[in-house]
Copies of this chain bind each other. A is one copy, B any other.
Amino acid sequence: MQPPLYVITPTYRRPEQLAELTRLGYTLKHVINLLWLVIEDAHNTSDIVENTLNRIGVPYEYYLDARNTLNKLLNIDMFAAPMPDEYRKSKKAKPRGVSNRNRALLWLRENATDGVFYFADDDNTYDINIFEQMRYTKKVSMWPVGLVTKLGVSSPIVKGGNIEGFYDGWIGGRKYPVDMAGFAVSVKFLHERPQAKMPYKPGYEEDGFLKSLAPLDNADIQLLANNCSEILTWHTQTKSNHPAESLNMTKYGGTNLVDLDKQLVRPIK
């Protein structure tokens, strides 16, 4: 039996939500011994998301047993992980997904003993080969991510099998200038770093999380995708749609449009 893979996907209410989960889900469905941790940025989970996850058929946690236990312990809603209000109400760049990912780390600390975890946003694209490669990560593994900045790719720079630096067109000042889709971490290693978590710092989420895993030598970072020479993950981004207009019930009551309207995801106000 292969070591388990835990794929952590933050998600939030928007018109594209069900489509994005469907598309990612069909990729994950090709990978064995995988548990998909889908975490809403909301106070409540959603029935239409759950229906979608059931339809896709990938093993997932969305409602989960641990949640009620943790609700009692921490007086919070475990797998609904809203962004803290100070960020939600701010006009500045929001560290979207951080609270979700930290909730998932908490879940791993409580429930997982071995295997590997990976932060897989629902709008990115993944070649399934990368999952089989990351499955054997001892501490941290890294690989290139396509479609990142005007350089077209973000990657460790590798020469003679060693990391010589990082090629990444995003902000400077980072020890690990890597994309969220470009690394995986061993669960055992996470357990050895009880303080590791992701910071609420836009642009520095990956860097902050990887630094919280210190000590971590570059020599301990496994270079996947054939020594970082292949692009197997891409930072695709989906265009946002405006929330759908309300259905005119006077005109369309008694038609199929009433059922369709219930499947349109409208953002939380």
Interface residues of A (CB under 8 A from B): 15-16, 18-20, 22-23, 26-27, 29-30, 55, 125-129, 144, 146-147, 150-153, 155-159, 164, 167, 227-231, 234, 236-239, 241-245, 252, 254-257, 259-261, 263-264
Contacts and interface: CB of A to CB of B under 8 A. Distances in A.
A237 B159 CA distance: 37
Contacts of A243: 152
Q: Could you say which of A29, A236, A239 has the most chain B C-beta atoms within 10 Å of its C-beta?
A: A236
A227 B245 contact: no
B245 A150 contact: yes
Contacts of A129: 55
B29 A252 contact: no
A265 B238 CA distance: 19
Contacts of A231: 18, 260, 263-264
Nearest to A55: B127
Given A18-B234, A239-B238, A263-B230, A256 B152 contact: no
Contact of A152 (B152, B245, B252): B245
Contacts of A23: 23, 27, 125, 236
18 contacts: A15-B146, A18-B146, A19-B125, A20-B125, A22-B125, A22-B127, A29-B30, A55-B127, A150-B244, A151-B245, A152-B264, A153-B264, A157-B256, A159-B255, A230-B259, A230-B263, A231-B263, A237-B238
Given A127-B55, A159-B254, A239 B241 contact: no
Q: Could you say which of A146, A242, A260 has the most chain B C-beta atoms within 10 Å of its C-beta?
A: A260
